[in-house]
Amino acid sequence: MQPLAAKQFALQVVQRLREAGFESLWAGGCVRDMLLGREPNDYDVATAATPEQVREVFGRRRTLAIGAAFGVITVLGSKQQGQIEVATFRCDAEYSDGRRPDSVSFSTAEEDAQRRDFTINGLFYDPLAEQVIDYVAGQADLQAGVIRAIRDPFERIAEDKLRMLRAVRFAATFDFQLEAQTRAAICQQAGALQVVSAERIAAEMQRMLVHPQRCRAMELLRDCQLLVEVLPEAKRFDEQPSTWSETRDVLERLASPCFPVVFAALIRLLVKAGDGAAARTIGKRWKLSNDDLKLTAFLIAHVAEIRTADQVAWPQLQRILIHDNIQDLMALAEAVAGTCEDPPAGLERCREKLELPQQKLNPPLLLDGNDLRQLIQPGPVFKEILTAVRDAQLEGQLTSQSEALDYVRVLLSQHPEQGTQV
């Protein structure tokens, strides 16, 4: 998607609907972002046309009706234009599950603004007249930097508990304040976050954690007792405040990390040192992808070894340094080392070794599994021997295949039950 093309397309969609006689406006996040001088992620259009009418205007082939039950039709543009969600002005009926309205009914722009979550998200914009339409005093809150629920915050949070995390995300990422009553409503209902699906919680947490304002987000979550809802292990931060200040410092020091690096930084002091399996368990609760789970477990398992790498045997360290994600591990270890004022020798050794040409850092095997299978049957001793040969090679004790084979014979003589074929 190309930002200018997307914006042009959003304008065209409004124009087409207007020509067909339906009041139509840009709505919600895109208006907020535009007024903040940020590039909107995507444009949403709100309209008086019903979903069926929207489909008639744009044609069935250029629309998708996946969200039609909630009054949303997706209008498809070119690859550059992307797609636009066109939602019929609506008001929501009761929310009995704490997350979604039981039904919706079509209504006016003003009522549509009232069902939105926060005042800064309740704005409309008429792109033809270039005019903001503000039924909820959202512009004033945008100016003042305030996240305020539209209407009664206690009711609005009770309706949809996901709004608690959205409020914190917007406050943190825009560096806004949570308005006092909105904040009180969140603190009061934090314990009910569990009605929100793990996937939705995880998606919000991921967005907060990769953002440069991640520390502010985590502080707000802690202040509102939401962090222990999404991460019960975080109780430790309250019981032992130094674990939080250290974690905070590490989070702050990460420059532009991928999610698993931030996640590992967050949980590092909440699991036993080096316990990759425990990290994986938490990651599963957060619905991480398999790749992210694997990387998180790797980071947690090895971050301590990197910091003390000057005391780690080379073959053991080498196997960590040749890992695909070593740069992520280094980034985490650097951030941790910075806060703990580690002696620099460990990290320095790693940096030096990582500068080595590939041939030196990771020399080709002198003997692989196929070679060894010519000599003995696979089994527990098999793996032990392969490892021992590789260790000796990395230590510089073996430099050719014939030396490696000699060494295998020596090793096998210590395992007479295996030695028959040599």
182 part of the interface to ligand ATP, by CB under 6 A: no
**Applying CB under 6 A, what is the total number of residues that bind ligand ATP?**
11
Percent of residues in the chain assigned helix, strand, coil, to nearest 5 = 60, 10, 30
Minimum distance from residue 41 beta carbon to ligand ATP (Å): 5
116 part of the interface to ligand ATP, by CB under 6 A: yes
- Tell me the CA distances in angstroms from 237 to 225, 268, 413, one per residue in order: 12, 12, 54
Beta bridge partners, 147, equal: 178
According to CB under 6 A, which one of 162, 254, 265, 288 is a site residue for ligand ATP? 162
Give the CB-nearest residue to ligand ATP. Answer: 29
Q: Which of the choices Mg ion, ligand ATP, none does residue 55 contact, using the CB cut-off of 5 to 8 A by kind? A: none
- Beta strands 44-47 and 131-133 are unpaired
**Applying CB under 5 A, what is the total number of residues that bind Mg ion?**
1
101 part of the interface to ligand ATP, by CB under 6 A: no
Pick between residue 170 and residue 244 the one whose CB is nearest to ligand ATP.
170
Q: Which of the choices Mg ion, ligand ATP, none does residue 117 contact, using the CB cut-off of 5 to 8 A by kind? A: ligand ATP
Q: Between helices 345-355 and 314-321, what is the axis angle to 10°?
A: 60
- Beta strands 83-88 and 44-47 are parallel
Pick between residue 24 and residue 318 the one whose CB is nearest to ligand ATP.
24
Pick between residue 30 and residue 293 the one whose CB is nearest to Mg ion.
30
* CB-CB contact of 230 with 205 (8 Å): yes
Minimum distance from residue 307 beta carbon to ligand ATP (Å): 37
Q: Round the CA-based radius of gyration of the chain to a whole number and report it.
A: 29
Q: Is 233 helix (H, G, I), strand (E, B) or coil?
A: helix
Q: Which residues lie closer than 8 Å to 233 by C-beta, 6 or more apart? A: 267, 270, 271, 282
According to CB under 6 A, which one of 134, 141, 160, 328 is a site residue for ligand ATP? 160
Q: Which residues lie closer than 8 Å to 407 by C-beta, 6 or more apart? A: 388, 389, 392, 398
Site string for Mg ion, 8-47 (x = CB under 5 A): ---------------------x------------------
- Which residues lie near ligand ATP (CB under 6 A)? 28-29, 41, 44, 116-117, 121-122, 160, 162-163
